[in-house]
Amino acid sequence: MKRSRHLCLSRSDRNRKVRCRSVFYPGYTFLRLPELLSPHMMTAGLLLALICTNCREQPVAKIAESSAMETLLNNEDLQVFGEKLFFDTNLSSPEGQSCAACHGPEVGWTGPDETVNKTGGVYPGALHERYGNRKPNSSAYATLSPVFHSFIEEGKIVFCGGNFWDGRATGSLLGNPAADQAQGPFLNPVEQNIDNAKNLVDKVCRSEYSSMFIKAGKDIWKIPDISKSENTNLQFGIIAIAIAAFEHSGMVNQFSSKYDFYLKGKVKLTATEEQGLELFRGKAKCSNCHVMEYVPGGALPLFTDFTFDNLGIPGNPQNPWYAMDTTFNKKGENWTDPGLAEFLEQTPQYAMYAEENYGKHQVPTLRNVDKRPSPDFVKCYGHNGYFKSLEEIVHFYNTRDVLPSDKEVSDPKPGVNCWPEPEVAQNMNTAELGNLGLTAEEESAIVEFMKILSDGYTLQSNQ
């Protein structure tokens, strides 16, 4: 199915030229209210769901510029509290692993360990012999994903939003996918391995920043001393929302790349970067999914539409999940990543769509895709970290369906004379990648363009 998607809009909406943003950055708005919000923050106008702002050419209903969830995510006290939580290595069991262990700022808030990136791409948990099954997503711009939902496109159900590669952190619990996601690793035995939410809350209450927790509970939730509450669910929810608030802050969602300055008219691109930009939104079809629409003065592009695709990426033979104990990986070396399908088949209202979404993973943002502490630092790409450079994954997009299978050649050299077969062949996107007809020069130009999507660009005095 060929798609030209714009942040989870159905084709009928796009044909009416409606541009809607269901997220939180200026120009964006949120979808629903969490149950954890105190009653004084709820108004009738804020109970409207999935209503767009920043829409053009069509009369649409609007909600207040500052929704209740947006107010929480922009609360500076919550952001500072969330930062403390994010970098605290004392919360895991055993101690030693913070959120930053898998989401390092120096690499664009994703995996910061070059040794891991060079091999399996999947990070160990607090118990180092335990591993998850996918590489870490970037936590930057994660708060801008809409609550998981579906829409109809060309007669088929398309899923959009949520956090994690499979969208299972839907945002329906706490009101934002990043907040739902923040609860996951704490209690996951292959990540931070905390026995239960009460143990996490107790650790936070004993921390050097416990006063921030109490202040947030008092000022926002109107609870005199949240540390003494018997409502563990509420306490755990506040902790997760605080982490999401930090991830929503300007420290994480910076919008400070060279491309951002270019859109604002403050810097010019090189000839190669310009060529890459044109290819990105044209011949290479990258912007079909990594959307980059921009109206001057409006919301800056996120370079994802938050939908799900199967790109035909090969399995990563170095993924440590294959060797995990059957307590965690029941299929052992025969495991195949089901992607979105695994979440759907466990969700009654979506289970009937699992098979047609088998092998699909969420389209990641390309912001910070080349962010790294040094030019030679190795990052990995794809949901399983199979690719070790931007050059490699761009070449794969271009030639996946051109080069033969590695089983068909006597001396297989992936990317040179073959590609390994896809981990999941069904539901593979063949309309937007696989045989793009790009030259080597054009591939290189696309890579150069993606390099200017990294935050932290500094304007020169002569610019």
Q: Are 324 and 130 in contact (CB under 8 A)?
A: yes
**Among residues 130, 151, 170, 158, which one has the least CA distance to residue 343?**
170
Cα of first residue to Cα of last residue in the chain, in angstroms, is 43
Amino acid, res. 55: C
Burial of 44: CB neighbours in 10 Å, binned 0-12, 13-18, 19+: exposed
**Among residues 195, 63, 83, which one has the least CA distance to residue 139?**
83
Predicted confidence (pLDDT) per residue in 417-441, tens digit: 999 999 999 999 999 999 999 999 9
Q: Quick one: CA torsion of 279, 283, 289, 291, rounded to 10 degrees?
A: 40
Predicted local distance difference test score (pLDDT) of residue 316 = 98
Provide the angle, in degrees to the nearest 10, between the axes of the packed helices 197-206 and 210-219.
110
Q: For the domain that residue 60 is a member of, what is the CATH number?
A: 1.10.760.10
Q: Are 116 and 149 in contact (CB under 8 A)?
A: no
Phi, psi angles (nearest 5°) of residue 10: -70, 160
Q: What does the DSSP 8-state code read for residue 404?
A: P
359 domain residue, yes or no: no
Residue 28: pLDDT above 50?
A: no
Q: What does the DSSP 8-state code read for residue 287?
A: G
Q: d(Cα 275, Cα 269) in Å, to the nearest integer?
A: 9
Radius of gyration of the chain (CA): 22
Predicted local distance difference test score (pLDDT) of residue 10 = 44
Q: d(Cα 173, Cα 34) in Å, to the nearest integer?
A: 7
Predicted local distance difference test score (pLDDT) of residue 462 = 67
Token pair of 75, please?
């609360």
Q: d(Cα 451, Cα 458) in Å, to the nearest integer?
A: 14
Residue 25: pLDDT above 80?
A: no
Q: d(Cα 214, Cα 455) in Å, to the nearest integer?
A: 33
| SS3 (DSSP) at 163 | strand
**Among residues 122, 139, 182, which one has the least CA distance to residue 329?**
122
Pairing between strand 361-362 and 156-160?
unpaired
155 domain residue, yes or no: yes
235 domain residue, yes or no: yes
Predicted local distance difference test score (pLDDT) of residue 9 = 52
Predicted local distance difference test score (pLDDT) of residue 44 = 31
Residues 386-405, mean pLDDT to the nearest whole number:
98
User: What is the band of 56 on the pLDDT scale with cuts at 50, 70, 90?
Assistant: very low
Given the structure tokens 């001057």, which residue do they identify? Answer: 296
User: What is the band of 227 on the pLDDT scale with cuts at 50, 70, 90?
Assistant: very high
Report residue 145 CA to chain centroid gap.
8
Predicted local distance difference test score (pLDDT) of residue 42 = 35
150 domain residue, yes or no: yes
Q: d(Cα 36, Cα 175) in Å, to the nearest integer?
A: 9
Q: d(Cα 176, Cα 306) in Å, to the nearest integer?
A: 14
Which H or E element spans position 280? helix 271-280
214 domain residue, yes or no: yes
Burial of 152: CB neighbours in 10 Å, binned 0-12, 13-18, 19+: exposed
Residue 301: pLDDT above 70?
A: yes
| SS3 (DSSP) at 45 | helix
- Among the listed ranges 42-51, 54-63, 95-104, 142-151, which one has the minimum average pLDDT value? 54-63
User: What is the band of 295 on the pLDDT scale with cuts at 50, 70, 90?
Assistant: confident
Predicted local distance difference test score (pLDDT) of residue 390 = 98
Residue 41: pLDDT above 80?
A: no
> Range of 53's domain?
1-103+139-253
Token pair of 390, please?
């931007």
Given the structure tokens 């207040």, which residue do they identify? Answer: 64
Q: d(Cα 408, Cα 418) in Å, to the nearest integer?
A: 8
Residues 46-71, mean pLDDT to the nearest whole number:
41
Question: pTM (2 decimals)?
Answer: 0.88
Predicted confidence (pLDDT) per residue in 231-258, tens digit: 999 999 999 999 999 999 999 999 999 9
Residue 15: pLDDT above 80?
A: no
Given the structure tokens 């030209």, which residue do they identify? Answer: 4
Residue 8: pLDDT above 70?
A: no
120 domain residue, yes or no: no
- Higher pLDDT: 60 or 170? It is 170
Predicted confidence (pLDDT) per residue in 125-157, tens digit: 999 999 999 999 999 999 999 999 999 999 999
Percent of the chain with pLDDT over 70: 85
Predicted confidence (pLDDT) per residue in 318-353, tens digit: 999 999 999 999 999 999 999 999 999 999 999 999
Report residue 254 CA to chain centroid gap.
15
Which H or E element spans position 234? helix 232-248
326 domain residue, yes or no: no
Predicted confidence (pLDDT) per residue in 162-202, tens digit: 999 999 999 999 999 999 999 999 999 999 999 999 999 99
Pairing between strand 308-309 and 361-362?
antiparallel
Residues 95-117, mean pLDDT to the nearest whole number:
98
User: What is the band of 38 on the pLDDT scale with cuts at 50, 70, 90?
Assistant: very low
Token pair of 439, please?
């030259």
User: What is the band of 36 on the pLDDT scale with cuts at 50, 70, 90?
Assistant: very low
Percent of the chain with pLDDT over 90: 83
366 domain residue, yes or no: no
Q: What is the mean pLDDT of the chain?
A: 88
Look at the chain and report how many structural domains it folds into: 1
Residue 63: pLDDT above 90?
A: no
Residue 153 β-bridge partners: 156
Which H or E element spans position 243? helix 232-248
